[in-house]
């Protein structure tokens, strides 16, 4: 297996700062914005974006956590997960602008499940999507509103995002080849 780094920790930091800016610009401020991180790496990313927004706009944006396990469409293929994480959305999302946050956008199925989950939790005014990496190969008509970096990949490759909060060490994004 060989791996190639495509983002350094500095690049990750800059990407997050840029996304934070764009969220404010796109929505004319962040008053109605709720960030919802998708378990697992979406959650620390959402928190970092919230911190970046705080330093730019001096406003606190609520951050929630979403587990999409029970909205997946691949139960028959992958079987049940041993662990289901706790979904925790701050307040009512009805009428809000929800920004879903995830690390990698790939087939779009996770986002599809997350959209279903959000619909069950309320009726947001708008739902937007922020991802650190968009690697292509979409299987559903889904696109991200805020992208840290577009990375062309082969479907045989794997993209790994390493975040200090979860993986320890420096942040990094790697492409792994022949992983499987």
Partner 1 sequence: MNLPPIAPHNPWMATATRKRRHVLDLDDFAEQEILDVLDAAVSMKEILGRSVPQVPILRGKTMANIFYEESTRTRLSFELAARTLSASVMNMTAKGSSVEKGESLIDTIRTIQALGADIIVMRHGESGAPYLAAQHFKGSIINAGDGRHAHPSQALLDLFTIREHLGQLKDLHVVIAGDVLHSRVARSDIWGMLRCGMRVTLCAPSTLIGDMQMWKASHPGLRISYDLDALLPHTDVLMGLRLQKERMQAGLLPALREYSTYFGISAERLDHLPKHAIVMHPGPMNEGVEIMPEAADSPRSVIETQVTNGVAIRMALLYRLSGETQA
- Residue 176 C-beta: closest distance to partner 1, Å: 20
Kindly state whether residue 77 participates in binding partner 1, applying the rule CB under 8 A.
yes
Mode of pairing for the β-strands spanning 146-150 and 97-105: unpaired
* Distance in Å, CB of 123 to partner 1, minimum: 10
Which C-beta is closer to partner 1: that of 71 or that of 146?
Answer: 71
Contact window for partner 1 (CB under 8 A) among 6-14, 30-38, 74-82, 125-133? 74-82
Strand 158-162 to 172-177 pairing? antiparallel
When binding is defined by CB under 8 A, the residue of 3, 11, 57, 116 that contacts partner 1 is 116
Instruction: Give the x/- contact pattern for partner 1 in 124-153, rule: CB under 8 A.
Output: ------------------------------
| CA–CA dist 24, 29 (Å, integer) | 5
Residues 85-104 that bind partner 1 (CB under 8 A): 85-88
148 — alpha (psi -120 to 50), left (phi > 0) or beta?
alpha
**Between 25 and 76, CB nearer to partner 1:** 76
Burial class (CB in 10 A: 0-12, 13-18, 19+), 84: exposed
State whether the Cα torsion 160-163-165-169 is positive or negative.
Answer: positive
Give dist(CA 104, CA 161) in Å, integer.
Answer: 8
Of 52 and 118, CB closest to partner 1: 118
Residue 119 beta carbon to partner 1: minimum distance, rounded to whole angstroms: 8
62 binds partner 1 (CB under 8 A): no
Q: How far apart are CA 50 and CA 40, in angstroms?
A: 17
Interacting residue ranges for partner 1, rule: CB under 8 A: 67, 69-72, 75-88, 116-117, 120-122
């Amino acid at each position: 297996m060989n791996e190639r780094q495509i983002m350094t920790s500095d690049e990750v930091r800059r990407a997050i700062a840029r996304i934070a800016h764009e969220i404010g610009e796109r929505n004319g401020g962040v008053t109605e914005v709720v960030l919802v991180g998708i378990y697992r790496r979406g959650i620390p990313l959402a928190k970092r974006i919230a911190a970046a927004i705080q330093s730019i706009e001096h406003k606190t944006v609520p951050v929630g956590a979403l587990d999409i396990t029970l909205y997946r469409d691949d139960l028959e293929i992958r079987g049940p997960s041993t662990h289901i994480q706790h979904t925790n959305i701050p307040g009512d999302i009805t009428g809000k602008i929800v920004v879903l946050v995830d690390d990698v956008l790939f087939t779009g199925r996770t986002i599809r499940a997350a959209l279903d989950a959000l619909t069950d939790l309320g009726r947001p005014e708008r739902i937007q999507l922020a991802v650190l990496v968009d690697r292509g190969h979409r299987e559903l008509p889904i696109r991200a509103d805020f992208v840290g970096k577009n990375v062309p990949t082969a479907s045989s490759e794997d993209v790994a995002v390493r975040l200090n909060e979860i993986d320890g060490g420096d942040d990094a994004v790697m492409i792994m080849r022949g992983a499987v």
